Amino acid sequence: MLRHMISAGILLTLMVAPLPAAKPLKAPDGLLKDLNDSNSGGAILLRETELFIDARLVGSLQGAKRKLNQPVKHKQNPVLVKENPWEEGGPGYGTVHYDPKKKLFRMWYQTWKKKEGVSEGNLCLATSKDGVKWTKPVLNSKTGSNLVSAPTVTGFQCPGIIHDVNDPDPARRYKMLFSCAPDGTSATWMTSAAFSPDGIHWKAVKPFELIPFSDTQICPLWDARNRRYMAFLRFGPPNVRLVARTESHDFLHWSPKVTLIRRTNRDEVQATQFYQMAPLAYAGGYIGLIGAYHNESLKPITPEKPWTDRTDLQLAYSRDGVIWSRVGGGGTVTHTELMTKRDWGPAARASVFLPYGNMKKKDWDWGYLTPYFTPEPIIVGNRIHFYYAGANAKHWWTWTGDPPKLDPNAKPPKKGVGLATLRVDGFVSVEAGPQGGTMTTKTFLFLGDTLTINANAQGGSLAIEALDAKGQPIKGFGLAESIPLTSDAISHKLAWKGHRDLHQLQGRPIQLRFHLKNAKLYSITPGTRHTHYVPSYD
CA–CA dist 45, 446 (Å, integer): 6
- Give yes or no: residues 409 and 466 share one domain: no
The low-confidence residues of the chain, meaning pLDDT below 50, are 1-16
Give the 3-state DSSP-derived string for 260-302, with helices as H, strands as E and coil as C: EECCCHHHHCCCEEEEEEEEEEECCEEEEEEEEEECCCCCCCE
Residues 6+ apart with CB under 8 A from 16: none
**Residue 381 contacts residue 288 (beta carbons within 8 Å):** no
Neighbours of 298 (CB within 10 A): 16
pLDDT of residue 41: 85
Structural domain contains residue 10: no
CA–CA dist 425, 538 (Å, integer): 47
pTM of the model: 0.93
pLDDT of residue 4: 45
- Give yes or no: residues 522 and 409 share one domain: no
Q: How far is CA 330 from CA 95, 286, 317, 355, in A?
A: 29, 18, 13, 17
> What is the per-residue pLDDT across 14-38, written as a single tens digit (0 to 9) for each?
444 555 555 667 788 888 899 999 9
- Give yes or no: residues 175 and 229 share one domain: yes
- Give yes or no: residues 54 and 106 share one domain: no
- Give yes or no: residues 334 and 460 share one domain: no
Q: How far is CA 223 from CA 177, 244, 375, in A?
A: 16, 16, 11
pLDDT of residue 350: 97
SS3 14: helix
CA–CA dist 54, 285 (Å, integer): 11
CA–CA dist 9, 252 (Å, integer): 89
pLDDT of residue 14: 40
- Give yes or no: residues 318 and 243 share one domain: yes
CA–CA dist 451, 48 (Å, integer): 10
pLDDT of residue 5: 41
pLDDT of residue 283: 95
CATH number for the domain spanning 405: value is 2.115.10.20
pLDDT of residue 115: 82
CA–CA dist 220, 222 (Å, integer): 7
Residues 6+ apart with CB under 8 A from 377: 280, 281, 282, 384
**Residue 479 contacts residue 515 (beta carbons within 8 Å):** yes
Sign of the Cα torsion 48, 54, 58, 61 reads positive
- Give yes or no: residues 409 and 492 share one domain: no
- Give yes or no: residues 241 and 365 share one domain: yes
| Amino acid, res. 294 | H
Structural domain contains residue 35: no
Give the closest residue to 249 by CA, choosing from 219, 226, 279: 226
Picking from 372, 403, 425, the residue at the C-terminal end of a domain is 425
Q: How far is CA 8 from CA 3, 14, 36, 59, 297, in A?
A: 9, 10, 59, 75, 111
Q: How far is CA 281 from CA 131, 181, 318, 531, in A?
A: 20, 30, 10, 31
Picking from 393, 425, 457, the residue at the C-terminal end of a domain is 425
pLDDT of residue 12: 38
**Residue 265 contacts residue 338 (beta carbons within 8 Å):** yes
- Give yes or no: residues 53 and 77 share one domain: no
Structural domain contains residue 34: no
Q: In 33-173, at which residue ranges do the beta strands (DSSP E only) sit? A: 44-46, 50-51, 58-62, 65-68, 72-73, 94-99, 104-112, 121-128, 134-135, 157-163
> What is the per-residue pLDDT across 483-515, written as a single tens digit (0 to 9) for each?
999 999 999 999 999 999 999 999 999 999 999
- Give yes or no: residues 444 and 417 share one domain: no
SS3 52: coil
Q: How many domains in the chain?
A: 2
- Give yes or no: residues 64 and 142 share one domain: no
CATH number for the domain spanning 60: value is 2.60.120
pLDDT of residue 30: 85
**3-state DSSP percent of the chain in helix, strand and coil, to 5:** 5, 40, 50
Strands 228-235 vs 58-62: parallel, antiparallel or unpaired: unpaired
Structural domain contains residue 30: no
What is the CB-side half-sphere exposure of residue 400 using CA atoms within 13 A?
A: 10
Structural domain boundaries, residue 449: 44-69+430-527
Angle at 479 between CA 478 and CA 482, to 5 degrees: 90
- Give yes or no: residues 57 and 117 share one domain: no
